[in-house]
Amino acid sequence: MKNRVLVAPSILSADFGKMNEEIARMEECGADMIHCDVMDGIFVPNITFGFKMISDIKKHTSLPLDVHLMIDKPERYVSRFIDAGADFLTFHVEATEKTIELLESIKKAGVKCGAVISPDTPTMALYECFPLCDIVLLMSVYPGFGGQKFIEKSLERMRELKQMREAAKSSALLEIDGGITEANAASVAAAGADVLVAGNTLFSSEEPRKIVEKFHSL
């Protein structure tokens, strides 16, 4: 039997001026982790926040921090994000030539590690990663900005990752990020997603608790 789908609100869609309140609201709604998108303006054409935001958030929530690095050469900063309090730390395979080495170093530090692929990257790019990964993240929009529309081919790509995980006899969680809504969440979960990252869908809702409960029931 499939475990309960996990919900990871993306703070990219939160009001940064009242971050504590925004995170507390998600925690009260039953969210399972907090998704933190770190962007450097190089790997993606946007800049968000860095180590201090992660460490400050860590002080104000008991939820695991799911830190998603959308940065060039993540190996330069992984140790800093571990020290800042990341519980899950993921990076893009497109951004480094040291994928396996980096996964091993994160895992050695006692943090759950994961690899990410963007929409145009073949799912096979993750094949060798599965034995090491605690989580695998599929982008269902192009990385860089929140509020984008879900890319439909992501459903088939998630099914491919599910088959890949089974072949590797891996227990890695399958996570999906981008354009997740109440309308498509069931299809995404049915395709194999264990963790749904949702930004606007949750933070713009007056009743996010109902959405979290709906996602948990998928």
- As annotated, the active-site residues are 37, 177
SS3 177: strand
Phi-psi region at 214: left, alpha or beta (left = phi > 0; alpha = psi -120 to 50): alpha
- For 86-90, the CB contacts below 8 A with 24+ separation are 86/36, 86/54, 86/111, 87/33, 87/111, 87/112, 88/33, 88/64, 88/112, 88/113, 88/114, 88/134, 88/135, 89/113, 89/114, 90/66, 90/114, 90/115, 90/116, 90/135, 90/137, 90/175
Burial class (CB in 10 A: 0-12, 13-18, 19+), 149: exposed
Could you identify the residue written with the tokens 């990964």?
133
